[in-house]
Structure 1
Amino acid sequence: MRIRRGLAAWFGSQRRGWSGAHCGIPQGRRDLRHKFVGTGSRSRLAVDKLGGRPANASESRHCRPQPRRRHFLLGQQRPGFQRRYYRHQRSDLSIDGFRTSALTTNVLLCRIDGNFGGVERNLLSLATGLDTSRFRPIVVTIANDGELARMAKAKGIASEFIPMKNRFSVMPASRALIDIARRWNAGIIHTFGLRSNLLAALARKHLDGKWIVRLPNINRRDYKNPIQGQIFHWLNNSLIRRADALQVISPQLEEYIKNRPHPPQRVFLIPNGVDLSIYKKQGTGERFRQSYGIAPDAPIIGGVGRLDHVKGYDILLEAFRRVAQIRPDARLVIVGDGPLRLPLQKQAESSGFPLPVVFCGYVTDIASCLEAFTLFICSSRSEGVPNAMLEALAMGIPVVSTRVGGIESILNAGVNGILIPCNDREALASAIMELITDEEKALRYGAAAQKRIASNFSLETMLERVQTMYEEVLA
């Protein structure tokens, strides 16, 4: 169709002059100004309302079909000349069985599909909560077609997959992202993580939509090797400069970004949100206690997250060893999976004093675990605003956390929780003992935190802010 229209425009200009009928302009719209787009750098051609004559006759040659060109990233291109307004004039179209309206902006939500954690849950909550009359989400998983893609399909959300043979095959993956964005006519590409940021940055010049980066934290502390962390931190900072907008989730991160050289023009502060209809305490977690053989009156100290170095579970085990010597009835429950599960299990069984620790592995129903917790622990070495902590606070569970990342924007020490220095075993053990022995203080902290989450960190508030960000970026 595009080739025929291009040929019609060329023959019309050569044989019969510039008339609207031979330039591919629909009947009834020849009195308007239209823009034609080709593949060349000087490819815009304005047609005035007097008979379809080109406004600039010197550029009439750009209305002709352009020869096929090869590009190192795009590969073989289609011949040029398509009407820009034509794509937005259609009432609707169908892509892979999903119907989309011309008034709806398609949003690509891009994330590498690895362990299903807080970022993946946040992305899925965003995809299911967007107003589909304004924004239609398409979940794009990279490298692995795993749990995120499966859950998106189960909820009826359109999904795409970009395969990667290894971490260095970024050029084919960038071409795949360009193809997906063009096929869906994506107005926004929203990336979550370094790998998706890299693909979007490579494809940026060839994408018509706006690129938004979600930055959860300063990721140089996410790696055990400090040199590797510094390299990835530098790479991510260099990539996000090209983005149209940046979404940060804490005031501390917003201040850090704005003080950096060459920050993005638009920075939006949008904290994570919690679905308050799901995360509300409805019982004492009797079913959870029975399934793991925990006594009804035993205090449960719990943590939720992937078993990785950055989460600091090795520090939590050492602190709990001191707690278990004073309160042998206490139990430590760790929900999540990851590469450090076996080393952590060996650490819990070492030193001739096996700890009463329960490793639950990956759990889909986090709320059923949280309602059994007496105390929630965040021992991370680096964090943004952890979803698991927000969910625990929404259920009125008192929290002890390290003072890292954006956690200070949630917890006020002595008001709704306890903050301790990072990697401090003694301080963590002391804070745990303080709250499991003083039940009145624990209940007071939990009630204050629950009120703060309901007023500032609800899922509805997050969705409203994200959609406002989309509209401002598109304006």
Structure 2
Amino acid sequence: MKIDLLITELFTGGAERCCAELARYLQEHGHSVRVISIAPAPTTRVDSLLYEQLNDQKIPTVFLNASKTYQLPWARSRLVQQIRSDPPDLAQSFLWHANLLGAWCYSKHQIPQVAGVRVVEPRRWRSRLAWFWRCYPKKVVCVSQQVAQWALQYEGFRSDQLTVIPNGIDLDFIPAPAKREKILLFVGRLELQKGIDVLLEKIPAILQALPEHRLVLIGDGSWAKAWSQWAQHSPLAHRVERLGRRADVLDWMARSELLLLPTRYEGMPNVVLEAMAVGLPIATMRVEGIEDLLGSSLTEQSAPRDDWDAWENLLIGLARNPLTLERLGIFNRKRVEENFDLKAQMKKYELLYEEILSKLPNRRGPAL
């Protein structure tokens, strides 16, 4: 099979990592793969890790160099050139802009598209726009059952279009747990979606209740300035460490005691999956994908959506109970081993593509 993987950008993130892993898997299994990014190539070292991996594996990567929404017509023109010069058998798109652009271009060339929905979209105008292109994808891959339900209800996809393939993780690259330190770890964008404002509000009470612990923040975003201002005036600032964006997240997970994620909405957060693989317990919210990840430990490691006081009490209770932390860490690692192996999830994509292509009549050349 010749497969195009179309994604909004190739910075280091959950969807981008899935795209790169899928490209590697397909190439290793004898398929021809081309990765296409709508945005320009990443420039910083941390952002370039996935691009460098694709280069090392000699997987062709094309950048359409559109960094703004109004540049999508330009990106469409460049994508059409790629399709005409080397048409794929099938295209897989990831994230909203790529889904839209993919439906715009591949359908016109009689190339089947598989869209990817990885997060619930609170911006209802985006959901309404999906109604204009929802009929084009042959299938829509959702990362969790809750995302599939949302796509059915709010984006108007047919139930027969939807399929669920959860995120996976390669356990061969997961570091062994180190000696655990009294670290409360936050990993993610410093944005409202991730509840970073809630953490800022709650952290004084949390640190006062846990005098031996410190907070480590990994990530960057619009709320970084608010944290800097807080640090200038808080007597607890010496117990909070902001590290920015880093490439050694898994190593920090391996030495931490508890992952904090007071998120407002998700799809299936990769940061939780990675923490579970390292054997790290979680204190999060009961949002999309969390039930699929945590299974029978859901109520022990999550609070009801938007109940921030319950989340604060949850994490303090966990941090005060080393035996519970140890038990949940073992449970999390085992659950990942049994349910979220990367190769098993990538195989589901491959089988889906083969099924779609097997049902298509012989196609002629691209439509003009």
**TM-score band (shorter)?**
0.7 to 0.9
In 2, distance between residues paired with 1:439 and 1:171? 55
1:456, CA displacement in angstroms? Answer: 0.7
Q: Does 1:425 align with 2:308?
A: yes
1:2-17 equivalences in 2 (<5 Å): none
Pick from 83, 90, 100: which aligns with 1:181? 83
Give secondary structure in 2 for the equivalent of 1:381: coil
Give the structure with higher Rg (CA). 1
Give secondary structure in 1 for the equivalent of 2:173: coil
Match of 2:140 in 1: 246
1:253-272 equivalences in 2 (<5 Å): 253-259=147-153, 261-263=156-158, 265-272=160-167
Pick from 340, 352, 355: which aligns with 1:457? 340
1:434-445 equivalences in 2 (<5 Å): 434-445=317-328
Q: Which has the higher contact order (CA 8 A, sep 6+)?
A: 2
Instruction: Tell whether the 8 Å contact from 2:318 to 2:325 is kept in structure 1 after alignment.
Output: yes
In 1, distance between residues paired with 2:112 and 2:292? 29
**In angstroms, what is the RMSD of aligned CA positions?**
2.2
CA 1:278/1:256 → structure 2, altered by over 3 Å: closer, same or farther? same
Instruction: Tell whether the 8 Å contact from 2:10 to 2:37 is kept in structure 1 after alignment.
Output: no
Q: Does 1:283 align with 2:185?
A: no
1:263, CA displacement in angstroms? Answer: 1.6
Give secondary structure in 1 for the equivalent of 2:36: strand
Instruction: Tell whether the 8 Å contact from 2:5 to 2:36 is kept in structure 1 after alignment.
Output: yes
1:116, CA displacement in angstroms? Answer: 2.2
Pick from 191, 198, 214: which aligns with 2:116? 214
In 1, distance between residues paired with 2:217 and 2:173? 21
Once the two structures are superposed, what CA deviation does each residue of 1:154-182 show, in whole Å capped at 9, x if it has no partner? 33221001022632122221121121123
The AA in structure 1 aligned to 2:23 is A
Instruction: Tell whether the 8 Å contact from 1:416 to 1:446 is kept in structure 2 after alignment.
Output: no
In 1, distance between residues paired with 2:24 and 2:249? 18
CA 1:135/1:114 → structure 2, altered by over 3 Å: closer, same or farther? closer
1:114, CA displacement in angstroms? Answer: 6.4
The AA in structure 2 aligned to 1:213 is A
In 2, distance between residues paired with 1:348 and 1:309? 19
Percent identity of equivalent pairs = 25
1:157-168 equivalences in 2 (<5 Å): 157-164=59-66, 166-168=68-70
The AA in structure 2 aligned to 1:378 is L
In 1, distance between residues paired with 2:202 and 2:41? 38
CA 1:152/1:230 → structure 2, altered by over 3 Å: closer, same or farther? same
Give secondary structure in 1 for the equivalent of 2:237: coil
In 1, distance between residues paired with 2:11 and 2:234? 31
Once the two structures are superposed, what CA deviation does each residue of 1:415-473 show, in whole Å capped at 9, x if it has no partner? 68421133433222211111111111111111112111111111011111111111111
1:192, CA displacement in angstroms? Answer: 0.9
1:142, CA displacement in angstroms? Answer: 1.2
Once the two structures are superposed, what CA deviation does each residue of 1:112-150 show, in whole Å capped at 9, x if it has no partner? 226422111221121222254442221111122112434
> TM-score with structure 2 length normalisation?
0.88
1:18-33 equivalences in 2 (<5 Å): none
In 2, distance between residues paired with 1:345 and 1:422? 27
1:396-407 equivalences in 2 (<5 Å): 396-407=279-290
In 2, distance between residues paired with 1:183 and 1:299? 56
Instruction: Tell whether the 8 Å contact from 2:219 to 2:245 is kept in structure 1 after alignment.
Output: yes
The AA in structure 2 aligned to 1:203 is C
**Structure ranking higher in helix proportion:** 2
1:374, CA displacement in angstroms? Answer: 0.3
1:340, CA displacement in angstroms? Answer: 2.6
